[in-house]
């Protein structure tokens, strides 16, 4: 099987109906992320960065347009199909880790494996492996409240990769962390990208993220340039139409 | 590339997920016990009330079904619902006793018992010297009466002497009023009576009665030579209808006959109906209250866990599995509540003797709370049902909870 994890957002429109008003978050938005990229998605708050991640992960559906992941169109899948697809294809890391306080690090990491046909022993092994990848093996038996913020985020990353998805979607994963810890997490993500070939899309406000990512997209300017290009293309078309119209006269 | 799963596999995954989530929810239950306390307590109360009603009716049924014989017919004045309302004359008894269907002894004496039945105002001093007044059933009995109570046994003291104010008290009364012991003097309607003995009758309703010489009861209660009920033992109890017809057609008689067994069964019926009519509406209102409490608890639980739930959905748990785990949690709350309601009742009240006003005789009858496995199961089932219903709507809400929203804030 070819390792195709390309993410394509095609002519996306995402809007919300608020009474009589329509709030347009994205209009005719296009983006392609290639397999093996580590993209840092930056930009001011409220611009729709989380929305894009949710669309890529099938947590949210576009109002219009198409979402393709690894050659499969996912925006028209049923909830059931999405749930199942997500479990094996996507790992999520959030700003707040949402680890379950009643489970140990090991237990939290094993949780997504409850969705797989793996048996108890295999689940344990997979979780141990994931914890090892994020250098948290010694803390496997610790509960979230016994861990530091950085350690919790590591466990959350282990949980995201434990079912071996090829794509990681991270929403401000270092937002709550101090500089040093944030660097460690960024380095960890970069390692997962370069050594394991994970395709990573990370929403961040952290300017240092550029040092780790393979591509930085500043959403604000990206949208501006996209709109400009579209307007030009539109203009060209109209001009051509005029020319052809003129020649007919 | 994801392969579409078959139905069985999907079901399997859903069950496995629900199981995993339920284990997590159960594990964190101790931390949430305070938040669930209102639900636990209210469900416990419902279980306790229901169990009380059931145990009471069960005990009462047992007592009343223990009473009465199959081949004995009870004769009262036509139209009388109970012995209390009936008045009969000695001539009527003679006519009845002359019927050839009535069993006779070797001397040719018909096996018949004439009985009085009045409501006695009983006064005595309790242990602290305080005067207490109780309304108890007083039965005036004849020499033949014990033939109709084959389980009659004197447990202490001796039989009363005829022609004096002496009486026997039933064991159920003695148990509830320990001051009433042999040789004790008590006041009945102003006159002094001595307790000559205490009798048992296999927990029948008669154990809630005072028994005295019929002649003394007739004179003390100014009844002349009238009696109230007649018991007859029949050779052939199968032909009751023919006998009834025969006596119905006799112009000298105006009576109602019924087998003694049936008589008490009817009483049991009407008494238990009364308890149910009183008890079940109370239980129903409480059950609704408990359901709302459970509903509230689970809604609050979901609100405080919306991020957790959204995270679960994001990492691949199905909405169905999530909602099942919520329902399981509500049922767990109900289980704890039910156990807390039932256990103390079982430990303290099983076999406890209670008294109730008998609706038709207006005197007290005593019976035991009878708590058994079936009644416990019924009460617990109701508690669990409340939990289940209380959990359904919140579970549905959790299922529909928009993931993106919860993850964003
Ligand atoms: N349910 C909703 N209804 C209306 N508007 C919404 C809803 N969810 C998000 N939005 C709007 O979408 C925009 C983008 O949100 P988001 O993707 O979270 O931005 P970012 O992650 O870049 O801060 C915001 O302006 C927000 O107000
Ligand atoms: Mg955001």
B27 near A CB under 8 A: yes
Q: Are residues B22 and B135 in the same domain?
A: no
Decide which of B62 and A144 is more confident: A144
Decide which of B298 and B166 is more confident: B166
Mean pLDDT value across chain B: 86
| A190 falls within a domain | yes
A114 and B28: CB-CB below 8 Å? Answer: no
Domain, as residue range, for B168: 72-235
The owner of tokens 């007290």 is B364
Q: Are residues B324 and B185 in the same domain?
A: no
Which residues approach ligand 1 with their CB closer than 6 A?
Answer: A 16, 18, 23, 25, 45-51; B 405, 408
Q: Whose CA is nearest to atom 8 of ligand 1?
A: B405
Q: Which token pair is A169?
A: 């979607």
A92 and B315: CB-CB below 8 Å? Answer: yes
| B7 falls within a domain | no
pLDDT of residue B2: 43
Other CB atoms within a 10 A radius of the CB of residue B122 amount to 23
Final residue in a domain of this structure, among B216, B235, B254 = B235
Domain, as residue range, for A94: 7-98+167-240
Q: In the predicted model, what is the mean pLDDT of residues B259-283?
A: 83
B404 and A50: CB-CB below 8 Å? Answer: yes
Using DSSP bridges, classify how beta strands B185-188 and B112-125 pair: parallel, antiparallel or unpaired. Answer: antiparallel
| A161 falls within a domain | no
- In CATH, what number is assigned to the domain containing residue A33? 3.40.50.300
Q: Are residues B52 and B101 in the same domain?
A: no
3-class state of residue A192 by DSSP: helix
B2 and A89: CB-CB below 8 Å? Answer: yes
Q: Are residues B38 and B116 in the same domain?
A: no
Q: Which token pair is B322?
A: 């999530």
Instruction: Please write the tens of the pLDDT for every residue from A61-116.
Output: 999 999 999 999 999 999 888 888 888 899 999 888 888 888 899 999 998 888 77
How many structural domains are present in chain B?
2
Q: Identify which of A15, A50, A96 to mutate to test ligand 1's pocket (most ligand atoms within 8 A of the CB).
A: A50
Ligand nearest to the CA of A47: 1
Q: Which of the four pLDDT bands, split at 50, 70 and 90, describes residue A30? A: very high
Q: Are residues B197 and B318 in the same domain?
A: no
A96 and B307: CB-CB below 8 Å? Answer: yes
For residue B406, report the distance from its CA to the centre of ligand 1, in Å: 12
Ligand nearest to the CA of A14: 1
> What whole-number distance in Å separates Cα of residue B258 and Cα of residue B237?
11
Q: Average the pLDDT over each of A232-246, B32-46, B159-173 and give the range with the smallest value.
A: A232-246
Q: Are residues B97 and B185 in the same domain?
A: yes
Q: Are residues B231 and B128 in the same domain?
A: yes
B24 and A100: CB-CB below 8 Å? Answer: yes
pLDDT of residue B327: 92
pLDDT of residue B357: 57
Is the pLDDT score of B11 beyond 70?
yes
| A2 falls within a domain | no
Is the pLDDT score of A203 beyond 90?
yes
B28 and A70: CB-CB below 8 Å? Answer: no
B28 near A CB under 8 A: yes
Q: Are residues B21 and B158 in the same domain?
A: no
Q: What is the nearest CA distance from A107 to chain B, expressed in angstroms?
A: 10
B13 near A CB under 8 A: yes
For residue A197, report the distance from its CA to the centre of ligand 2, in Å: 25
| B260 falls within a domain | no
Q: What is the nearest CA distance from B332 to chain A, expressed in angstroms?
A: 17
| B3 falls within a domain | no
| A249 falls within a domain | no
B308 near A CB under 8 A: yes
Q: Are residues B201 and B284 in the same domain?
A: no
First to last CA, chain A: 56
Q: Are residues B122 and B201 in the same domain?
A: yes
| A157 falls within a domain | no
Q: Which residues of A touch B31 (CB under 8 A)?
A: 102
Instruction: Please write the tens of the pLDDT for every residue from B122-162.
Output: 999 888 888 888 889 999 999 888 888 888 999 999 999 99
Contact A106, A125 (CB under 8 A): no
Q: What is the nearest CA distance from B4 to chain A, expressed in angstroms?
A: 8
pLDDT of residue B1: 40
| A92 falls within a domain | yes
B28 and A98: CB-CB below 8 Å? Answer: no
Instruction: Please write the tens of the pLDDT for every residue from B62-74.
Output: 877 777 777 888 9
b/e map B96-107, b = 16+ CB within 10 Å? bbeeebbbeeee
Is the pLDDT score of A249 beyond 60?
no
Q: Smallest Cβ distance to B316: which of A50, A86, A94?
A: A86
Three-state helix/strand/coil letters over A165-196: CCEEEEECCCCCCCHHHHHHHHHHHHHHHHHH
> What whole-number distance in Å separates Cα of residue B335 and Cα of residue B325?
15
Ligand nearest to the CA of A49: 1
Q: What is the nearest CA distance from B317 to chain A, expressed in angstroms?
A: 7
Using DSSP bridges, classify how beta strands B185-188 and B131-141 pair: parallel, antiparallel or unpaired. Answer: unpaired
How many structural domains are present in chain A?
1
Q: Identify which of A21, A25, A219 to mutate to test ligand 1's pocket (most ligand atoms within 8 A of the CB).
A: A25
> What whole-number distance in Å separates Cα of residue B328 and Cα of residue B335?
10
| A196 falls within a domain | yes
Share of chain A above pLDDT 90, in %: 70
pLDDT of residue A145: 92
For residue A137, report the distance from its CA to the centre of ligand 2, in Å: 31
Q: Are residues B53 and B109 in the same domain?
A: no
- pTM passes above 0.90: no
Q: What is the nearest CA distance from B27 to chain A, expressed in angstroms?
A: 7
| A128 falls within a domain | no
Q: Smallest Cβ distance to A60: which of B1, B20, B404?
A: B404
Q: Give the range with max mean pLDDT: A121-125, A175-179, B83-87.
A: A121-125
Q: Identify which of A12, A15, A19, A23 to mutate to test ligand 1's pocket (most ligand atoms within 8 A of the CB).
A: A23
| B20 falls within a domain | yes
Q: Smallest Cβ distance to A111: which of B20, B31, B404?
A: B20
Q: In the predicted model, what is the mean pLDDT of residues B280-309?
A: 86
Ordered alpha helix ranges (H), chain A: 49-56, 79-89, 105-110, 120-133, 149-161, 179-196, 219-248
Q: Are residues B55 and B202 in the same domain?
A: no
For residue A223, report the distance from its CA to the centre of ligand 2, in Å: 17
Which residue, among B7, B315, B320, would best test binding to A if mutated, counting the most A CBs under 10 Å from its CB? Answer: B315
Contact B387, A42 (CB under 8 A): no
Nearest alpha-carbon partner for B231 in B66, B88, B63: B88
Nearest alpha-carbon partner for A203 in A57, A17, A4: A57
Decide which of B105 and A154 is more confident: A154
Instruction: Please write the tens of the pLDDT for every residue from B241-254.
Output: 888 888 888 888 89
pLDDT of residue A16: 92
């Amino acid at each position: 099987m070819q390792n195709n994890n390309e993410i394509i957002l095609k002519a996306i429109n995402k809007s919300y109906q608020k009474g009589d008003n329509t709030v347009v978050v994205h209009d005719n938005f296009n983006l392609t992320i290639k397999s093996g990229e580590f993209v840092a998605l930056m930009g001011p708050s409220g611009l729709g960065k989380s929305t894009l991640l949710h669309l890529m992960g099938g947590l949210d559906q576009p109002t219009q347009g198409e979402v393709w992941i690894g050659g499969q169109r996912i925006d028209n899948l049923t909830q059931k199909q999405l749930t199942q697809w997500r479990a094996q294809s996507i790992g999520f890391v959030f700003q707040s880790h949402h680890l379950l306080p009643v489970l140990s690090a090991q237990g939290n990491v094993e949780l997504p494996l409850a969705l797989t046909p793996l048996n108890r022993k295999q689940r344990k092994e997979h979780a141990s492996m994931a914890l090892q990848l994020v250098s948290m093996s010694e803390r496997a038996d610790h509960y979230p409240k016994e861990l530091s913020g950085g350690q919790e985020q590591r466990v959350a990353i282990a949980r995201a990769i434990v079912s071996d998805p090829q794509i990681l979607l991270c929403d401000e994963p270092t937002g709550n962390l101090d500089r040093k810890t944030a660097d460690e997490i960024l380095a960890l993500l970069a390692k997962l990208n370069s050594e394991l070939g994970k395709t990573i899309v990370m929403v961040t406000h952290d300017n240092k993220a550029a040092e780790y990512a393979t591509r930085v997209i500043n959403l604000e300017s990206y949208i501006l340039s996209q709109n400009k290009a579209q307007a030009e293309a539109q203009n060209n078309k109209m001009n051509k139409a005029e020319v052809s119209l003129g020649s007919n006269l | 590339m994801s392969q579409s799963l078959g139905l069985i596999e999907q079901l399997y995954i859903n069950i496995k997920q629900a199981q995993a989530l339920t284990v997590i929810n159960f594990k964190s239950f101790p931390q949430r016990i305070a938040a669930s306390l209102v639900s636990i307590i209210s469900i416990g109360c419902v279980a306790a009330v229901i169990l009380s009603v059931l145990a009471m009716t069960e005990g009462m049924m047992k007592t009343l079904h223990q009473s009465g014989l199959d081949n004995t017919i009870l004769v009262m004045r036509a139209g009388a619902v109970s012995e209390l309302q009936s008045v009969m004359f000695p001539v009527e008894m003679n006519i009845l006793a002359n019927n050839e269907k009535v069993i006779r002894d070797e001397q040719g004496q018909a096996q018949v018992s004439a009985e009085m039945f009045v409501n006695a105002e009983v006064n005595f001093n309790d242990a602290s010297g305080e005067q207490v007044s109780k309304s108890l059933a007083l039965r005036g009995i004849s020499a033949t009466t014990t033939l109709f109570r084959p389980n009659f046994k004197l447990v202490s003291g001796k039989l009363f002497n005829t022609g004096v104010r002496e009486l026997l008290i039933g064991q159920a009364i003695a148990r509830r009023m320990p001051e009433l012991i042999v040789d004790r003097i008590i006041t009945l309607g102003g006159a002094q009576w001595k307790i000559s003995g205490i009798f048992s009758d296999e927990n029948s309703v008669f154990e809630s009665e005072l028994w005295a010489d019929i002649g003394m009861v007739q004179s003390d209660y100014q009844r002349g030579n009238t009696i109230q009920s007649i018991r007859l033992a029949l050779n052939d109890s199968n032909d009751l209808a023919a006998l009834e017809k025969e006596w119905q057609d006799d112009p000298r008689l105006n009576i109602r006959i019924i087998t003694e067994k049936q008589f008490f069964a009817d009483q049991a019926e009407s008494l238990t109906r009364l308890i149910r009519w009183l008890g079940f509406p109370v239980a129903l209102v409480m059950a609704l209250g408990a359901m709302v409490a459970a509903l509230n608890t689970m809604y609050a639980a979901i609100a405080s866990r919306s991020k957790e739930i959204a995270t679960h959905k994001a990492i691949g748990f199905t909405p169905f599995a999530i909602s099942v785990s919520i329902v399981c949690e509500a049922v767990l709350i109900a289980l704890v509540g039910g156990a807390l309601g039932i256990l103390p009742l079982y430990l303290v009240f099983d076999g406890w003797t209670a008294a109730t006003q008998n609706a038709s005789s207006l005197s007290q009858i005593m019976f035991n709370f009878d708590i058994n496995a079936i009644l416990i199961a019924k009460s617990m089932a109701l508690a669990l049902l409340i939990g289940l219903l209380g959990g359904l709507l919140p579970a549905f809400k959790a299922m529909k909870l928009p993931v993106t929203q919860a993850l964003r804030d």
